[in-house]
Structure 1
């Protein structure tokens, strides 16, 4: 008994010095009838993730002189408890996507690990506190953590998204990460040409530089994809002058003559600087109004008439005719 007690004290001393096996110590117990037996006592909690197996040697020493001893090996297998939450490999992910990626495009695969084992390490991924728009555009595989697109992206509607992902194990222990997705613009919007004001009909005596219309352009794309320049197709009588960014004046570049061309269809083309560039056009119908700028003209510059000498007074001796290319009262010829 003295030897056993001494060995117990030595074991406790070793444990205090850190030399004994971690977590357990042997203690001697006695039954009511005086039979002694050893008992293995857990001194502090175990952590399977640090040591999943403990190998102990239990020694029994008698009180003889010299003392005799016997040993037995004890193997302790630590079973898992769900005491570890999942952990993401990153807390914040940043992704850039072009807005023309196809449906089902793989955006990112998040990954979380759990130090537990078996079913305690099974992880389910889900969106966490995201709006309906995110769930409408992106799909999250709850088993693999892969995020894919399930609807078209449109930079002009939203140029970025923030996704919060939750990883949860069967014990409802959870971890979260944030994914910031930036959408890159593609040149997928043609420029628009808008006529804000048009002045028609235009008097034909209007001097060069007369404003015919005010034009505005816009392009929903960004950067060079949204930069627009305009020009007039065909008609040399008209030019565009820039008044400010995306605003133009359509003006006359020379005098007009209604008698030559009474009406113009002016086509304005807008083109962006994207690659490849996109274009659109609009036509303005311009009517030219008349100005009394033409004198009457006789059909002949000289008439030769032969008149008999015996004509009665008031008799018709000849008929002359004059015309005026102007319109309305301006073109009426009076004798």
Structure 2
């Protein structure tokens, strides 16, 4: 049960069947129906808020009740509220960090963020770290209010004393009961490396049309390291990327090329942000931001649908009489 349509319209339930009606929703899936005998709006399909509204805070489904004999329609809005049916999840359950033994205490290292598609209190709320006295956790607030965990070196490393450090990063949401997700962090201590990679740009911005061919190289990030040997070899990694963007773009770890994996659609998304890190063989790194803006091309035709139409009309019908309801969408 979603709502009492007959009551809201001031109709007797039996009157709905007599007047002829239908429920029409945007898209292929019809999520709602009206029970003819009771006049109740009911669900017709299972509704997954995270699937329908991945990028929208307020999730609304819209449909129309068409009264065919009266040639009237009524707009219906249903807000889908969130439940805590998703736990925070890290993209990688195992995180490998390489840290120079000469790193000064107080140094900070960005960690992978967890993702929870639920909203409000049911979404990601906190992080905690356990496992080793050499490290502590700091959480910074991002520009959009997101929480960004950072590993803080609390006590100087001694590679001869301990070559590896095992930690556990736990992410929790605010549901009741709370759901959690974990990632194991393995820190490897390294010998001295006195030069970090440096990107040629602090931020890369590129604009591409939505019909750019799959497989195209959209942008190439470049970092250099003045060290020699293993400490001067640079490889590239995606530090922060959304689930959607990870399905669309691929970063070549050796060349820094960002390639298109599948067709872009301006109507589905017009901007994507990636954070790329360049790591050398000694555990030092630099970070850059990549913004990919998608420009629209005219790849959609207007679609006209007849929502309702009368089959006959009297020759003396007055001018202005409604004979059909049309809907146009592009």
TM-score category, normalised to shorter length: 0.3 to 0.5
Specify the structure having the higher radius of gyration (Cα).
1
Question: Relative CO higher for 1 or 2, CA cutoff 8 Å, sep ≥ 6?
Answer: 2
